[in-house]
Amino acid sequence: MKSIFKTLSFSLFLALALVSCKDEASIQNYFVAHQDLPEFLTLDLSPKMLDISEVELSKEQKEIYKSFDKINILAYKAKNISEENYTQELEKVKTIFKNEKYSELMEFSDNGIKFRINTIGDEDTIDEFLVLASSRELGFAVVRVLGDNMQPEKLYQLISQMKNADVDESQLQKLMNYFDE
């Protein structure tokens, strides 16, 4: 009886270990694996960086603003990096973006920069926006916008209204300086 119990316990432990070690490609895992590497820049931004006290927002717009929790940015500069390394890292990210848990919202190019926007959530309430911006000349950046029940159709309306907000540009300046170096 003890032998069966030991075998059953060992089998259960082994099964749990295999399931918990499943190598599921996700943007979160990619961020964690690359955030401390010297060729990457990581920024964490909060909506609190925006002073909306001077901006007149409707009750609905305030709700949309409150639905954003934070923004994570992971950037990889192409300058002084081999074409092969750049391509490998970009392909890793593109593969993650193809994961079935991410729904593609749109893909477009602007001024030589390719953008891909994916979401997690359903059509009406999104919990995560994922943006991949890439350019061989500059590099690429992955942006995670985390929130709760974000509504994409109202996002543009909010952004245009917040043009008058006071923004703490010190964090954003780090990103601009990173690509200029």
Domain ranges of the chain: 24-180
How many CB atoms within 10 Å of residue 160?
8
Instruction: Quickly state the pLDDT bin for 60 (edges 50, 70, 90).
Output: confident
Handedness of CA 132, 115, 147, 121 (dihedral sign): negative
pLDDT of 135-165, one tens digit each?
988 899 999 988 887 776 666 565 555 555 5
Q: Which residues pair with 133 in a beta bridge?
A: 115, 141
Distance CA 176, CA 181 (A): 9
- Burial code (b: 16+ CB inside 10 Å, e: under 16) for 6-32 equals eeeeeeeeeeeeeeeeeeeeebeebbe
Model pTM score: 0.72
What's the mean pLDDT in 1-27? 43
